[in-house]
Amino acid sequence: MNARDDMASKDVEALRQEMAQLRNDFSAMTQTLKDIAGDAGSEAYARVRERAGQARVQAEKAADQVTHSIEERPFTSVLVAFALGLLMGVLFGRQR
């Protein structure tokens, strides 16, 4: 019976070592997944910031173009603004 107990003890010890190795492997996998998710989040944030910057530049260009058009043709700009105001007043003034 002593040989059986000795083999059983060896088997139990081998199982303990394998379980410890599995825990270490799962821990490493978890850390790797966290790193991957963090990198993906950082990349997405950088893309959003880049697109927002591009949109801001385009909006500034459009505002500059409108400003230039107003400065170039002030009388026409005033007439267009008056006509739009009049049209909006007529459309929204009758909704009572």
The kind and range of the H/E element at 3 are helix 2-72
Q: What is the pLDDT of residues 29-53, one digit of tens each?
A: 888 888 888 877 888 888 888 999 9
Predicted local distance difference test score (pLDDT) of residue 96: 56
Helix pair 74-93, 2-72: axis angle to 10 deg: 110
Predicted local distance difference test score (pLDDT) of residue 38: 81
The whole domain housing 49 covers: 2-93
Predicted local distance difference test score (pLDDT) of residue 12: 82
Q: What's the domain count of the chain?
A: 1
